[in-house]
Amino acid sequence: MKKHTIVVCDHIHEAGLEMLRNDENINFIMAADEDKTKLLEIIETADVAITRSSTDVDEKFIAHAKNMKAIVRAGVGVDNVDIEGCSKEGIIVMNVPTANTIAAVELTMAHMLSCMRMFPYSHNHLKLERVWKREKWYGYELKGKKLGVIGFGNIGSRVAKRAKSFEMDIVAYDPYIHPSTVTDCDMVYAKNFEDILACDIITIHTPKNKETINIIGEAEIAKMKDGVVLINCARGGLYNEEALYNGLKSKKIRFAGIDVFNKEPAVNNPLLDLDNITVSPHLGANTFESQYNIGTQAARNAIEAAKGIAYPHAMNLPIDESKIPVYVKPFLEMGQKIGFLASQINKSQIIAIKVSGQGDISNYVESLSTFVAVGAMSQSSDDTINYVNAEFVAKQKGIKIEWEALGESSVFKNLITVKLTTGEGTTSMSATIFDDGVKRIVAIDGFDIEVALKGDMILFKNSDVPGVIGSIGSTLAKNNVNIADFSLARNNESQALAVILVDDAVNESTLAQLASLDACLSVHYARL
């Protein structure tokens, strides 16, 4: 199998680097310490690049990324990535939006509590000035206060839930989510932004874009309560800094907790001169746990993108994410993995790909078919296959892509089925996502079977006779292959199918030994 080149442009956690080093199909280049001119030369042969805030993915970068399939931004913000420019060149842009979620949530709560109790100032008064003056430091309680949350995504929603445990009243503003996402949590959904401005404390958790830059300025602050508290641990520039400074100086804003600034490092920012603000130097992701999560998730996403398995958390999808419910995107990503898996089982020239959807997901089955096609064709094509060019490449190769929306499933809330037809026959797989968020296969070629969609997988079809499971187990044990999970199904034709998840890669010799077992009808191996 061809090796895929992944270039790490900025430093990530060592655990992520180890994942890249240890994958035999990845050519890993560490370029975090190279100067940016040298980096441009290095990325010319790269399939995927991992970047952080130190590397600008701009016009110059994109021009040199001649073979680039995808860029993984190791973090949440993509301010330094020209997403439109990448899209024009067919480069998928991904981020890692959930890896530092808890770190950012807890920092927000720390700033909120610090503002209400003036903790850093009382700490300095005692520790640095050695003054014990309790009467100087009367603060306010969170209980009973109204918290306005701008942006109710991964971070904002979790801040709201933690604030709820402090017995605060929560008002959330997010025009891109269904109101029930908020109201089901016993919180108030604000249709009017001015409802947020009436809150005691306001915290913001949105991306930085044309819509959100300076979303809080002079006019908005003027409408706020006297003594309001403002928190920003998201992105610099969401609050207009001049307006914030004026509001703090006049005491219209009683206190502010700020982790992010327009220009960083912000060592000369005028806000630092005020005595009613708590500040931190962009520490939203600065926990050991989040850096591990960011590094490993970025590496995993880069590996999947390089191999064409999936493009997790793609920012430039062939569908407007603001117009789809939050449950849809995981199904799109799962569809791509199903296509990739099916093409490993049915290794022959693809003739047709058919995707069916049951339940609410059937409304998005056309977009789903694009994701499935990307996964399926990436195994057998020398071309870079992505969401932008999948339909064009399929047409060039004479591959027919079909989709259909079916009725409700009698068993599952949402179900997708992929049928991959090649010169060797048709492989069919159905999958769903359960409430625990785990993607699961629920049927393969007429066998009802439940197995997680991950890892190294052996599919063993056999005559349904005694002793087969023992023979499989002893063969794998003899070859030092450890079984992680074993799922078994039977049909009405006296046949059985075992799907075996194993801890390590399986070599051709082991597969040949399995194929030689008397009851074996077929054996396939796939890696996700």
Residue 394 has pLDDT above 90, yes or no: no
Q: Among residues 216, 141, 144, 236, which one has the least CA distance to residue 173?
A: 216
Give the pLDDT confidence of 24-36 residue by residue, as tens digits.
999 999 999 999 8
Q: Which region among 151-155, 169-173, 309-313, 504-508 has the lowest average model confidence (pLDDT)?
A: 309-313
Give the pLDDT confidence of 172-210 residue by residue, as tens digits.
999 877 788 899 999 999 999 999 999 999 999 998 877
Longest dimension (CA), the chain: 85
Give dist(CA 137, CA 125) in Å, integer. 10
Residue 429 has pLDDT above 80, yes or no: yes
Residue 383 has pLDDT above 60, yes or no: no
Q: Tell me, what's the pLDDT at 318? A: 65
Q: Residue 384: pLDDT band by 50, 70, 90 thresholds?
A: low
Choose the catalytic residue: 4, 73, 235, 440. 235
Average pLDDT over residues 210-226: 94
Q: Is pLDDT larger for residue 448 or for residue 396?
A: 448
Backbone angles phi, psi at 365, to 5 degrees: -70, -25
Q: How many beta carbons lie within 10 A of that of residue 128, not counting itself?
A: 8
Give dist(CA 131, CA 154) in Å, integer. 41
Average pLDDT over residues 409-438: 89
Q: Which region among 36-40, 95-99, 105-109, 507-511 has the lowest average model confidence (pLDDT)?
A: 95-99
Residue 122 has pLDDT above 90, yes or no: yes
For the domain spanning 1-97+285-316, the CATH number is 3.40.50.720
Q: What is the CA radius of gyration of the chain?
A: 27
pTM over 0.75: no
Residue 324 has pLDDT above 80, yes or no: no
Q: Tell me, what's the pLDDT at 319? A: 66
Q: Tell me, what's the pLDDT at 321? A: 61
Q: Which region among 34-43, 56-65, 394-403, 499-508 has the lowest average model confidence (pLDDT)?
A: 394-403
Average pLDDT over residues 380-387: 62
Domain with CATH 3.40.50.720 in the chain: 1-97+285-316, 101-279
Residue 86, both tokens: 């990448």
Query: DSSP code of 86?
Result: H
Query: DSSP code of 518?
Result: T
Average pLDDT over residues 379-404: 76
CA–centroid distance for 249 within its chain: 40
Average pLDDT over residues 423-439: 88
Angle between helices 288-307 and 14-22 (to 10 degrees): 30
3-class state of residue 381 by DSSP: coil
Average pLDDT over residues 358-365: 92
- Tell me whether residue 368 is exposed, middle or buried, using C-beta atoms within 10 angstroms of its C-beta: 0 to 12, 13 to 18, 19 or more: buried
Query: DSSP code of 168?
Result: -
Q: Tell me, what's the pLDDT at 37? A: 92
Q: Tell me, what's the pLDDT at 208? A: 84
Start-to-end Cα distance in the chain: 15
Q: Tell me, what's the pLDDT at 396? A: 75
Choose the catalytic residue: 14, 44, 167, 264. 264
Residue 393 has pLDDT above 70, yes or no: yes
Average pLDDT over residues 101-129: 96
Q: Tell me, what's the pLDDT at 454? A: 87
Edge-to-edge strands, sheet with 495-502: 483-490, 495-502, 456-463, 520-527
Average pLDDT over residues 254-262: 97
Catalytic status, residue 282: yes
520 within 8 A of 510, measured Cβ to Cβ: no
Q: Tell me, what's the pLDDT at 379? A: 67
Q: Among residues 267, 265, 215, which one has the least CA distance to residue 244?
A: 215
Tell me the average pLDDT of the chain. Answer: 92
Q: Residue 211: pLDDT band by 50, 70, 90 thresholds?
A: confident
Give the pLDDT confidence of 266-301 residue by residue, as tens digits.
999 999 999 999 999 999 989 999 999 999 999 999
CB crowding 50-64: b at 16 or more within 10 Å, else e: bbbeebebeeebbee
Q: Decide which of 3.40.640.10, 3.40.50.720, 3.40.50.10420, 3.20.20.140 is the CATH code for 101-279.
A: 3.40.50.720
Catalytic status, residue 235: yes
Average pLDDT over residues 143-162: 95
Residue 382 has pLDDT above 60, yes or no: no
Residue 432 has pLDDT above 80, yes or no: yes
Q: Is pLDDT larger for residue 122 or for residue 87?
A: 122
